[in-house]
Structure 1
């Protein structure tokens, strides 16, 4: 009879241990966060960020890769400083004349004309008036680069369309056009 109680107790114990066991989830996990990651929806609000929004701003003073800061401010004083001091980092071997001409044709010639005489297609159609000829202006490569970067008067900035190297190419091309006028 004692043996029957032992067998019954063993059967009850084994049933109670196996009844609560789920094979899809182990009872003990060694680092459960690795097995059950917390996933976030794209662009959803999250408590992971201190402001409760979808992301954080870059650290103050950080600079994106490949970006070179431009030290001259967008003002008349910045224009005068760029005109007097700013020199092109592109030497004569780095200047690509066909590419510079192509960039000038795409972004500048519509107003300034293919020759830089201020008689572009929009000026001929009287959409813009008063686009100056490069011959009449006292300009340097630095001032042209500054104006292409920030814009001046009716001309908007081309910093989003042209990289810094491309803006220098255009500035060099403008100086060549001015010498031909």
Structure 2
């Protein structure tokens, strides 16, 4: 009997202590509305590293974000500046560039996939210039690959691989550059598929 009374008193003490701590915590949190209260594991969300826009005394100019050293290139970056974004560069690319990829079913299928994602909204899945954005009159004047005329002279059906690649890279008229969206290798796959559409296939 005495033991059970002691246990009951112990439990009451624990409950009372818990309530007192909870009350104190609640009261302290409400006393200053600007206070965030106690913070647990603050180092989990305060980064040790500098943010790019923070001042940094480790560099002479005091900036965290530094320009890369001259002549460095990102991993996987393929430079395309042999043919400039001019009519002359376009014609030179058309005369000299050749698709380096084998014309197999895998490359053609991947080219079709990229074409449907990036090009078909304007050019249409058949390359007829009747993509969704043309049908809702967002864009006009998109030529068909089989029958249209190129704005830079000649017929779309006669565009060479180099001219198509140059156009994907730099864009022309309402068509913007796709260089940031389609890798150089995938651009050649799209070129391969566009040449199939030129033949009406």
- Indicate the TM-score class for this superposition, using the shorter chain for normalisation: 0.7 to 0.9
- Aligned residue-pair number: 143
Corresponding position of 2:56:
46
User: Could you state the TM-score of these two structures normalised by the residue count of structure 1?
Assistant: 0.72
Corresponding position of 2:153:
none
How far off its partner does 1:113 sit?
A: 0.8
Structure (1 or 2) with the larger CA radius of gyration: 1
Question: Is residue 2:148 matched to residue 1:128?
Answer: no
For residues 5-54 of structure 1, give each alpha carbon's deviation from its aligned partner in whole angstroms, at most 9, with x where no partner exists. Answer: xxxxxxxxxxxxxxxxxxxxxxxxxxxxxxxxxx7533321122222211
Which of 163, 166, 171 is the matching residue for 2:183? 163
For residues 57-94 of structure 1, give each alpha carbon's deviation from its aligned partner in whole angstroms, at most 9, with x where no partner exists. Answer: 11222222211211221122211111111111112248
Which of 122, 132, 135 is the matching residue for 1:111? 122
Within 2, Cα distance between the matches of 1:144 and 1:40?
Answer: 45
Corresponding position of 2:159:
139
Task: List alignment gaps of at least 5 residues for structure 2.
Answer: 1-47, 149-155
Task: Please tell me the root mean square deviation across aligned C-alpha atoms, in Å.
Answer: 1.8
Task: Write the mapping of 1:68-87 to structure 2, written as runs, cut at 5 A.
Answer: 68-70=78-80, 71-87=82-98
User: Could you state the TM-score of these two structures normalised by the residue count of structure 2?
Assistant: 0.66
How far off its partner does 1:164 sit?
A: 1.0
Task: List alignment gaps of at least 5 residues for structure 1.
Answer: 1-38
